[in-house]
Amino acid sequence: MKILAIDTSCDETAAAVTENTKVLSNIVWSQASQHAKWGGVMPSLAQRMHRERIDFVVQKAISTSRRAPFTIDAIAVTVGPGLAIALEVGISKAKELAAQYHKPLIAVNHIEGHLLSPLARPRNYKFPMLGLVVSGGNTQFILIEKIGKYKVLAQTVDDALGEALDKAARLLGLGYPGGAILEKFAREGNPKAYSLPIPLIEDKIKNRFSYSGLKTAFVRLIEKEKPLTKEKICNLAASFQEAAFKHIENVLSYQINHLPLTINHLLLGGGVANNNLLRAKLQKLLRARGITLHVPYAKKLCGDNAAMVGVAAYFKAQRKEFVKDFNSLDREPRMKLA
Amino acid sequence: MGQCLLKGNRAVELGMKIVKQNPKAVETAVRVLKRGGLVIYPTETLYGVGVKATNPQAVLKLNAYKKRPFGKPYSVAVADQKMAEKYVFLNQTARNLYREFLPGPVTVVSAGKHKVAPGVESENGTLGIRIPKYKLVIEIVKKLRVPITATSANASYQKRPYQISDILENISEKQKSLLDLIVDAGKLPPHEPSTVIDTTLDDPAILRQGEVRLKDKNEILSRSKENTQNLAKELFQKYEGYLGQRPIVFALEGEMGAGKTQFTKGLGKVLGIKEEIVSPTFNLILEYGELAHIDVWRLENPQELEILGFLKMIEDKNKVVAIEWAEKVAEAIRKYRGQAIIIWVKIKYGKNPNDRLISWGAL
């Protein structure tokens, strides 16, 4: 089944063509590629930008897939969560295309897209599974009873992990969004150089994530350490990542230990899934518990993109979950996974 | 133009020159660039395509080559920081980055001085600067005395170019005809494209905008998150009576980690909102029934507050709006003083780790 998928949930304008779970094309016009490969990151807000780009991106997704538009079986679109005025652009384009080509329409939850993104490559897995979505806007630990049936075991009460990493980078004077560059610095630093508070270590029942306390402690620490040298920046970056990831590890081990279920697989998705240190730490934690970690096969599938939406839509199509009335399909900025 | 050092039908047929990287390549490249030509050159990351960044005709030609959609800016390569400062304003963050990373595979975006050809800077007037760690490029730019565009040599969305064939095999004859010179350094090691860092968000010039004066000023010391949330509750209750006649806007000002989201959590509690109030930095806006929670930190100009639907929000006389980083959009908020009750709340770090000095007043 071939699906044309669209995602305009926030900064990125994205479209993709997928066939079952296989990605045929995955076009993302992000702020980062706005100056092309060497350009600038511009977090400028832009419904207008989405509108200007959407046709180009959709056309590009179709032409790159080398499939004729009329061979596409369904149109999928992210309806939430996200920025309302941005979501709207993708939704109206999807409705227009579905009507024009007389194709069914599938409404997708952006987080489900991230969650299922590792399945874009064939995997052996069995239910129940676990899922961890770590991005700029979300941090959720999820029980996947089966595809489409989810239970959120833990989520953030303030900042998302990706947001915390970006802000830490900005506090170190590394610009924004600097999560990726923070990781580069951290590689040269000593994670034990500074001791930062592990978030919510006092929680007896570990069912939430929080990064505001760590962020504040980091602000204070940086004030104390100024002026910053490159060595200090590296050590601070490494120590911040250490505390931020330790928190994830703590919540995951608590939850896994307390689940009355045998789990053998965990899906990792979202932009922070690109962080190699986080991957290594999770790998270690999970291997000891006999759980296989599945990560998206390409970097592009981690950040916001539409191929993941196509993958999630394929499973919905299998369950015959199509939009019944196009007119009633509306954006859901605060859409929940479960 | 220069001597064609690599003999081959292809070069002749296309009317473009391919030269091997050698001492003469710099002179040849400079000559071609001066005439508005398009040059493909190697760097420490990928093959780039350059035109003289101050030549509007050359930039148009580059657009045609790259098949760029409307409004995509280009980064430029300069020889050193001194040259960079002719074209952009460097703030402290930018200076730090130059010191630590340049020359090297990092593009630093700063506010531009509008001295390059149209279409090179972004719509917002920012410009990405690169100082490649690659002698040939530095020498070309030094000799030319003007920056050259530093965009990858592939057309938009095509394969990353690590060798000349990556480029030539993926472009049309028409695109090939636009190329004037290729400096061939063979196959480059497969490095990632440069990392891009925007420093304009840290620009104090933006953060200083709109110093806010309050009619009446109150101040308390908060000793904990709970204190901060309680203050939000009390402040809300003080002005609650206006709801129904006018919406209430809490304009929150304070550094990162000061507790702006904590304050909003307090508003959520007093409004009986069951959902967890989380940071809206990424999404820009999160709505919970009658409470709208906005973060304008990522906005580039105050008008964008209106694009976010702020106007529509405050048409609802029962609405409560919390705006984080309000100082960035002070002017835009001030405009609606008559239409909404605006409470300005400043949160500052205190002496002890959990201490916050919170002051507030009606605008």
Crossing angle between the packed helical segments A47-65 and A84-101, to the nearest 10 degrees:
40
Interchain proximity A52–B107, CB inside 8 Å: no
B299 or A259, which is more confident: A259
* A189 labeled binding residue: no
Best residue in A8, A12, A27, A38 to probe B by mutation, most B CBs within 10 Å?
A38
The token pair that represents A110 in the structure block: 């952006």
Contact A52 B71 (CB under 8 A): yes
Per-residue confidence band for A186, with pLDDT thresholds at 50, 70 and 90: very high
Local confidence band at B157 (pLDDT 50, 70, 90 cut-offs)? low
pLDDT tens digits for range A81-135? 998 888 999 999 999 999 999 999 999 999 999 999 999 999 999 999 999 999 9
Measured CA to CA, the distance from residue B1 to residue B37 in angstroms comes to: 10
Could you give the CA distance from residue B154 to residue B121 in angstroms, rounded to a whole number? 20
CA distance A174 to chain B (A): 7
| Res B120 pLDDT > 50 | yes
Range name among A37-41, B72-76, B312-316 with the lowest pLDDT average? A37-41
Average pLDDT over residues A72-78: 98
Mean pLDDT across B30-56: 92
A327: which residues sit within 8 A by CB, 6+ positions away?
A: none
Q: What angle do CA B326, B329, B335 make, to 5 degrees?
A: 110
Residues A189/A228, Cβ–Cβ less than 8 Å: no
Q: What is the mean pLDDT of chain B?
A: 84
Chain A neighbors of B128, CB-CB under 8 A: 35, 38-40
The answer to whether the pTM exceeds 0.90 is no
What's the pLDDT at B284? Answer: 87
In Å, how far is B300's CA from the nearest CA of chain A? 6
Beta strands in A118-275 (DSSP E): 129-134, 139-146, 149-156, 208-209, 265-269
Asked whether this chain's domains A2-116+300-328 and A126-296 adopt the same fold, the reply is yes
Does the annotation place A134 within a ligand binding site?
yes
Q: Are A44 and B261 in contact (CB < 8 Å)?
A: no
Q: What confidence category does residue A234 fall into, taking pLDDT thresholds of 50, 70 and 90?
A: very high
Q: Which residues contact B226 (CB under 8 A, 6 or more apart)?
A: none
For B151, list phi and psi in degrees, rounded to 5.
Answer: -120, 155
A271 touches chain B (CB under 8 A): no
Interface test with A, best of B156, B157, B304 (most A CBs within 10 A): B157
- pLDDT at A205 exceeding the cut of 50: yes
Mark which residues 91-120 of A lie under 8 Å from B by CB. none
* Residue B12 confidence (pLDDT) above 80: no
- Checking if the pLDDT of B27 tops 80, the result is yes
Interface with B, mutate which of A10, A35, A221 (most B CBs under 10 A): A35
Q: Which residues in chain A have their CB less than 8 angstroms from residue B284's CB?
A: 10, 45, 83
The CA distance from A125 to the nearest CA of chain B, in Å, is 32
- The response to whether A309 counts as a known ligand-binding position is no
CA distance A15 to B223: 48
Which of A224-238, B62-76, B110-124, B346-360 is least confident?
Answer: B62-76
Give dist(CA A132, CA A200) in Å, integer: 18
B235 within 8 A of B263, measured Cβ to Cβ: no
CB-nearest partner of B93 from A45, A135, A173: A173
A-B CB pairs within 8 A amount to: 193
Domain residue limits, chain A: 2-116+300-328, 126-296
Residues with Cβ within 8 Å of B344's Cβ and at least 6 positions away in sequence, in order, are B212, B214, B251, B253, B326, B360, B361, B362, B363
Residue pair A177/A163 in contact (Cβ under 8 Å)? The answer is: no
- CB–CB of B256 and A219 under 8 A? yes
User: A327: which 2 tokens?
Assistant: 């007119």
CA–CA gap between residue B358 and residue A325 (Å, rounded): 50
Contact B195 A184 (CB under 8 A): yes
Radius of gyration of chain A from Cα atoms?
20
Put simply, the answer to whether A173 touches B97 (Cβ < 8 Å) is: yes
Q: What is the pLDDT of residue B5?
A: 34
Sheet of B248-254: strand order equals: B218-222, B356-362, B341-349, B248-254, B320-324, B291-295, B285-288
Which of B149, B197, B325 to mutate to probe the A interface, most A CBs <10 Å? B197
For an interface test with A, the pick among B66, B124, B196 (most A C-beta atoms closer than 10 Å) comes out as: B196
- Is B126–A38 a contact, with Cβ atoms under 8 angstroms apart? no
In chain B, domain spans: 9-200, 209-362
Q: Is the pLDDT of residue B241 over 80?
A: yes
Burial class (CB in 10 A: 0-12, 13-18, 19+), A262: exposed
B84 alpha carbon, distance to own chain's centre: 17
Contacts of A171 in chain B (CB under 8 A): 256
Q: Any chain B CB within 8 A of the CB of A136? A: yes
Cβ neighbours around A198 below 10 Å, total: 17
Residue with structure tokens 């400043």? Answer: B346
Enter the CATH code of domain A2-116+300-328: 3.30.420.40
Tokens of B179: 């190329």
Burial of B208 by CB count in 10 Å (0-12 exposed, 13-18 middle, 19+ buried)? Answer: exposed
CA distances to A226, B21, B102, B152 from B28, in Å: 48, 11, 26, 20
Say whether residue A37 is in contact with chain B using an 8 A CB cutoff: yes
Residue of A207, A211, A208 lying closest to A171 (CA atoms): A211
Mean pLDDT of chain A: 92
A236 shares contact with chain B (CB less than 8 Å): no
Burial A102-140 (b: 16+ CB within 10 A, else e): ebbbbbbbbbbbbbbbbbbbeeeeeebbbbbbbbbbbbb
Query: Would you say A31 and A100 are in contact if contact means Cβ atoms under 8 Å apart?
Result: no
Number of CB atoms found within 10 A of residue A232's CB: 17
* Residue A58 in marked binding region: no
Tell me how far apart the alpha carbons of residues B228 and B263 are, in angstroms, rounded to a whole number: 6
Residue A180: its chain B contacts at CB < 8 A?
195
Cβ-based contacts of A216 with chain B (< 8 Å): 257, 259, 353
The number of beta carbons lying within 10 Å of the beta carbon of residue A204 is: 5
Q: Which two tokens stand for residue B32?
A: 């071609």
Q: Does A191 touch chain B (CB under 8 A)?
A: no
Residue with tokens 């148009």: B60
- φ, ψ for residue A43, nearest 5 deg: -75, 40
Say which range, A120-134, A238-252, B1-15, B265-279, has the weakest mean pLDDT: B1-15
Cross-strand pairs, A5 = A16, A76
Instruction: Check residue B9 and give its pLDDT.
Output: 28
- A155 CB neighbours in chain B (<8 A) are 276
The string of DSSP letters for A183-203 reads HHHHHTS-TTSS--PPTTTT-
How do residues A112-124 score in pLDDT, each as one tens digit?
A: 999 999 999 999 9
Task: Closest CB to A174: pick one of B66, B152, B197.
Answer: B197
Q: Which two tokens stand for residue B34?
A: 């001066």
Contact B220, B230 (CB under 8 A): no
The response to whether A28 counts as a known ligand-binding position is: no
3-state secondary structure of A94: helix
Region B220-243: what's the mean pLDDT?
A: 91
End-to-end CA distance of chain B: 66
Q: Which fold has domain B9-200?
A: DHBP synthase (3.90.870)
d(CA A39, CA A34): 6
Contact B96 A173 (CB under 8 A): yes
> Which strands, in side-by-side order, build the sheet including B39-42?
B17-20, B181-184, B39-42, B47-50, B151-152
Q: What residues of chain A lie within 8 A of the CB of B196, using their CB?
A: 32, 35, 38-41
Beta bridge partner(s), residue A74 = A3
Of B100, B257, B282, the CB nearest to A10: B282
Report CB contact under 8 Å: B202, A173.
yes
Q: DSSP assignment of B78-115, as one string?
A: -SSHHHHHHHEE--HHHHHHHHHH-SSSEEEEEEE-S-
Question: Which residue in B has a C-alpha nearest to residue A8's C-alpha?
Answer: B283
Please name which of A142, A12, A72 lies closest in space to residue A314, comparing C-alpha atoms. A72
Percent of chain B past pLDDT 70, that is, above it, reads 89
**How far A10 CA sits from the closest chain B CA (Å)?**
7
Q: Which single residue is written with the structure tokens 């959609």? A: B69
Judged against a pLDDT cut of 60, whether residue B126 lies above it is answered with yes
Set of chain A residues whose Cβ sits within 8 Å of the Cβ of B150: 38
CATH code of the domain occupying A126-296: 3.30.420.40
Which fold does the domain B209-362 belong to in CATH? Answer: Rossmann fold (3.40.50)
Residue B346: C-alpha distances to residues B207, B227, B350 (Å): 14, 15, 12
- Residue carrying structure tokens 């049309």: B172
Percent of chain B predicted with pLDDT > 90 = 45
